[in-house]
Structure 1
């Protein structure tokens, strides 16, 4: 039996509990370690900074299984404090011991906002990125660690910069699903074309859909709409990350969504910076891309302009969930607005 549910705002302790519980199962850690682009880029970015890490004290924020902490020891770190709030910290202790690094890596169970380190650190490393970059709000913890524990000046943050991109896309699966109801009569002799509007409302809803977008479905060059410098960005600024965009379509197609992705950059002394990209033009990562379906498809031709403004901010229901508001104009159409969010983690977020 179905019933109507109403979202309620979760208190911060419940938000944090749901978030940390999600990292207590092996599946998510398997997915992250198996993501070769993610894990190998972090390993390479850390090892390329060995001159800045050798003999230094490092803080690993949200250490998980401790793999980044181990990379830091391999790069010559004198001491690594691996701070992890969820129960995976117990497994990290075992992994550190198995790699015979317990004399240089100390796993500390707790949030970085509540633990007390015995000393300041010279390097902060963290894999903090969520879907659409800011989902999960773990960047706030990195900024807290930066302000409280990182020696200044000269402290190193890995990665040190993040950028957000957007582009119009055409999802052929959506087109097929919308057209499906017009094909039923030919198959079964029953006209169900009136279902098309209902299907459109269900499929092209306000959820942020995490999907792998193929290059062939991207309809323009990417437009960068925001950049975050981890040395200077503040927690207050993360309450509204926004920027404008302008794209020009490659050719005739149907725009039915906008696609958002991110990159993060590792500075490398005397070498080109190393970029971890979640772009559809690059090898797939576990972050895939954030797909924002429009209310209705729009046909475009070569050089049709897609312009607008993106604003990303925490959800009212849970500060760890991201909302994305987009004001957009496609060609000569009037301006449209739509707000998207990632569905709640748990039915307990509803009543």
Structure 2
């Protein structure tokens, strides 16, 4: 994944969507993708690489003799594959100085006559023609963190031919209940932080004559958010998933709008499959599919999934939302869930989640419905 998005710092606009402060956005987001070590992390992700490679070379008819736009080309590898699959012209757009490295790789692979690397954000550049294919690796943690999909939608609306195809063409977001020992450790860390604060308050008053207790409440809120409300990256083992997974959102990349993904809402249910265990939280992940279009389908559909796996973990992993306290659940219990996710007002690329749960027990003591707030940072 490279960078071509242009939608970070949040300023008011007439249509309600954020206006961009480009310098702040570059400092907060784009700079990460300008380093080769970060590109290497993504290029070393075999699940990611295999999915895109197979999607291109198992569906050469979508690329051979066609015009392709790679949004956020990064190192340029997707553009190179498109060229190797027979594309007549590839426009590889990259917002950072990584564009210089991409040009070197294009030349080293003898594709400089096919691939044109353009440094700039997709919202600012002008292409000489519309394209047959848009390919991009735009997915962030839990699919939508980073908001790069906005730029892909912009590219689609401005530069994709009506008969064109999107790579990937579809995406889904998933949620499932989990058990995890991490929950207990996070609570210990939080309690340790609060104990340390109280010792600090006592010591400051004793030795320096200043009462810091007026700051206890804001410190509590700060630590509570950091330890107990901020989602965690994890590569879970499948046996940590204790109930059925449910789709939160199903996205058709050829039709979805930015407004559609600003606030993701879902009412879903999950049934506990494991025997008596603890419900420690929920895990969110995504998959994307390369299906082509209805009029121009893929010869072979390819899936890239970030679901919990024993052997095929990805650099995206899963986002884990831990519950404090945990709840005991039994096989057959039904979880009725309400899910809401919107962008943070402080940083447009981060996300805030509100998760409600009503546990319908098959036996045992009832659990009162609850709602928790989480931050994907």
Q: How many residues align?
A: 318
Aligned partner of residue 237 in structure 1, secondary structure: helix
1:335–1:115 distance in 2 versus 1, CA, 3 Å: same
Cross-structure match for 1:339: 373
1:247 is matched with 270
Q: CA deviation at 1:330?
A: 2.6
Task: Provide the rounded CA distance (Å) in 2 between the counterparts of 1:213 and 1:56.
Answer: 40
Task: Give RMSD over aligned pairs.
Answer: 2.2
Name the residue aligned to 1:349: none
Query: What residue number does 1:257 align with?
Result: 281
Q: Which residue of 2 aligns with 1:114?
A: 124
Q: Distance in 1 between matches of 2:37 and 2:174?
A: 28
Deviation at 1:271, TM superposition (A): 4.1
Does structure 2 retain, via aligned residues, the 8 Å contact 1:204–1:295? Answer: no
- Measure, in 1, the Cα distance between the counterparts of 2:184 and 2:350: 29
- Between the aligned partners of 1:49 and 1:301, the Cα distance in structure 2 is 46
Tell me, yes or no, if the aligned pair for 2:134 and 2:165 is still in contact at 8 Å. Answer: yes
Cα distance, 1:70–1:297 mapped onto 2, change above 3 Å: same
CA contact (8 A) 1:327 1:337 kept: yes
**Alignment partners' CA distance in 2, 1:106 and 1:39:** 22
- Tell me how far 1:299 sits from its aligned partner: 0.6
Question: Which residue of 313, 321, 325 maps to 2:350?
Answer: 321
**Residue 319 of structure 2 aligns with which residue?**
290
Change (3 A) 1:202 1:156: closer
Alignment partners' CA distance in 2, 1:142 and 1:202: 32
Find 1:78's aligned residue among 66, 83, 88. Answer: 88
Preserved contact between residue 204 and residue 296 of structure 1 (Cα < 8 Å) = no
1:174 is displaced (CA, Å) by: 2.8
Change (3 A) 1:101 1:308: same
1:299, 1:266 → 2: CA distance? 39
Query: CA offsets per residue over residues 108-159 of structure 1, 9 Å max, x none?
Result: 000000011111111000000000100000000000000000011x101000
Pairing of 1:269-280 with structure 2 (within 5 A): 269=297, 271-280=299-308
What is the TM-score normalised by the length of structure 2?
0.80
In the alignment, does 2:123 pair up with 1:89? Answer: no
Q: Does 1:310 align with 2:346?
A: no
Displacement after TM superposition at 1:211 (Å): 1.0
Cα distance, 1:203 vs structure 2: 7.8
Task: Say which SS state the counterpart of residue 83 (structure 1) adopts.
Answer: strand
The answer on whether the counterparts of 2:94 and 2:117 sit within 8 Å (CA) in structure 1 is yes
Counterparts of 2:262 and 2:26, CA distance in 1? 18
Please say if 1:20 is aligned against 2:43: no
Q: Give yes or no for contact 2:177–2:282 (8 Å, CA) kept in 1.
A: yes
Q: Which structure 2 residue ranges, 5 or more long, are not aligned?
A: 1-8, 12-19, 192-219, 361-365
Q: Report the secondary structure of 1:21's partner residue.
A: helix
Q: Aligned equivalents of 1:106 and 1:126: distance in 2?
A: 16
From the superposition, tell whether residues 155 and 204 of structure 1 become closer, same or farther in structure 2 (CA, over 3 Å). same
Q: Distance in 2 between matches of 1:25 and 1:272?
A: 34
CA distance in 1, matches of 2:190, 2:261: 43
Whole-angstrom distance in 2 between the partners of 1:272 and 1:45: 8
- CA deviation after TM superposition for structure 1 residue 274, in Å: 1.0
Distance 1:180 1:133, change over 3 A: closer
The whole-number CA distance in structure 1 between the counterparts of 2:37 and 2:266 is 35
Kept in 1, the 8 Å contact 2:306–2:317? The answer is yes
After superposition, the C-alpha distances for 1:179-219 in whole angstroms (9 at most, x for unaligned) are: 8999xxxxxxxxxxxxxxx9x95885111211111112110
Partner of residue 62, structure 1: 72
Instruction: Name the stretch that deviates more: 76-85 or 248-257.
Output: 248-257
Asked if the contact 1:89/1:108 (under 8 Å) is kept, the reply is yes
